């Protein structure tokens, strides 16, 4: 079988934008995504920083992206990639379902939530510990929840939960949030979001399900009764398939140049998985477009 011009791995904004550009450029390509395309944006309640959409849910925006890519003829392979072989000329992508040969690989695998690493977190995962407020928030209607972190995700999650839960405790290790100003302003308007500054969760407690968190605030420990804990302590790159094959930084983010080329010829990376200044939907999409234009230039 003829090799593809490019196989796009991952169907978030970077991968879907790449698919749109690949279709327009007439490339032979497929997008490999094990689940429903859309990426992390599907777990975002509300997006209000993507131009043209002053207010849209992450799910609706993700659906629009997918419909757009499909309308232009995107071919999707719905399988999980298990292994890659990156030869000088041709690359092989293996999945549970088969083997695909391609001239180029575009890695758009994004990032995933990072665990806190505190006692109780692993054991109570899915039993009150969650990494996605929009997925699991409804289980905590009229209950008390804690959100851990101070970035955009933590603050967006706290806002989303405040509409469902009785009380939301936003537990942050510093005295200043990292989240965008407009999100901070929205939080200040909510009576049922309580921010615990300079505070670290030491343990998540509960027998069958979460019942409390042990919080250390400047050396003083407090046990707070909560039914749910939403961990929003940042993300880590989904780059394990390329581990040891391309250059990364110490955290595993793939290093690319401004053409999205990695240290291996014919292997490109776009979106949250690569080392970059700003990880947002708009920059992921731009990366995907640039990567495809770079590939077009080599064919
Ligand atoms: P982030 O910006 O890295 O924030 C992680 C937060 O968790 C920080 O406040 C950090 O504290 C805290 N943290 C990290 N490790 C911790 C630990 N072990 N214990 C306690 N707290 C810990 O991650 P993010 O909020 O997931 O955002 C990731 C990227 O996605 C960002 O680029 C963000 O802008 C983007 N994003 C954008 C939107 C949007 O535009 N609507 C929504 C979600 C995410 P410190 O502040 O002290 O470091």
Query: Of 40, 149, 279, which is best to mutate to test ligand 1, by the most ligand atoms within 8 angstroms of its C-beta?
Result: 149
pTM: 0.87
Do domains 6-112+235-296 and 115-231 share one topology? The answer is yes
Catalytic positions, please? 132, 135-136
pLDDT at 42: 87
Taking 90 as the threshold, does the pLDDT of residue 135 lie above it?
Answer: no
Q: How far is CA 230 from CA 26, 132, 134, 164, 227, in A?
A: 43, 7, 10, 14, 10
39 lines ligand 1 (CB under 6 A): no
Domain definitions of the chain by residue range: 6-112+235-296, 115-231
For residues 120 and 205, what is the distance between their CA atoms, to the nearest angstrom? 6
Q: How does pLDDT run across 73-110, given as a tens digit for each residue?
A: 999 999 999 999 999 899 999 999 899 999 999 999 99
Work out the pLDDT band at 134, boundaries 50, 70, 90: confident
Pocket probe for ligand 1: among 111, 112, 170, 234, the residue whose CB has the most ligand atoms within 8 Å is: 234
45 has a pLDDT exceeding 90: no
- Would the pLDDT of 160 be above 90? yes
- 43 pLDDT higher than 90: no
Of the segments 28-32, 54-58, 86-90, 136-140, which one has the largest average pLDDT value? 28-32
Among 29-43, 48-62, 225-239, the range of highest mean pLDDT: 225-239
What's the gap in Å between 30 CA and the centre of ligand 1?
32
**What's 115-231's CATH class?**
alpha beta
| CATH 3.50.50.60 holds for 6-112+235-296 | yes
Whether pLDDT at 174 is above 90:
yes
State the average pLDDT over residues 32-52. 88
Mean pLDDT to the nearest integer, 240-269:
97
């Amino acid at each position: 079988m003829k090799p593809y011009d490019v196989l796009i791995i991952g169907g978030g904004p970077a991968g879907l934008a790449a698919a749109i550009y690949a279709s327009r450029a007439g490339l032979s390509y497929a997008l490999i995504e094990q689940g429903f395309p859309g990426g992390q944006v599907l777990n975002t309640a509300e997006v209000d920083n993507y131009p043209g959409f002053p207010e849209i849910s992450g799910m609706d925006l993700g659906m629009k992206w997918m419909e757009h890519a499909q309308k232009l003829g995107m071919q999707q392979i719905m399988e999980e990639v298990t292994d890659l072989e990156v030869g000088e000329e041709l690359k092989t992508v293996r999945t549970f379902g088969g083997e695909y040969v391609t001239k180029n690989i575009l890695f758009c695998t994004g990032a995933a939530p990072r665990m806190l690493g505190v006692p109780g977190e692993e054991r109570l995962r899915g039993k009150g510990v969650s990494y996605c407020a929009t997925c699991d928030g409804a289980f905590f209607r009229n209950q008390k929840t804690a959100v851990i972190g101070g970035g955009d995700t933590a603050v967006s999650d706290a806002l989303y939960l405040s509409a469902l839960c009785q009380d939301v405790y936003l537990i942050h290790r510093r005295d200043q949030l990292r989240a965008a100003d407009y999100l901070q302003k929205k939080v200040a308007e909510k009576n049922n979001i309580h921010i615990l500054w300079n505070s670290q969760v030491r343990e998540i407690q509960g027998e069958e399900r979460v019942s409390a968190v042990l919080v250390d605030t400047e050396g003083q420990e407090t046990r707070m009764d909560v039914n749910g804990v939403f961990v929003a302590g940042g993300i880590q790159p989904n780059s394990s398939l390329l581990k040891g094959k391309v250059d990364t930084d110490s955290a595993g983010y793939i290093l690319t140049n401004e053409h999205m080329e990695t240290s291996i010829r014919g292997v490109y990376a776009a979106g949250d998985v690569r080392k970059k200044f700003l990880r947002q939907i708009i920059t992921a999409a731009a990366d995907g477009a640039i990567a495809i234009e770079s590939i077009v230039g080599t064919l």
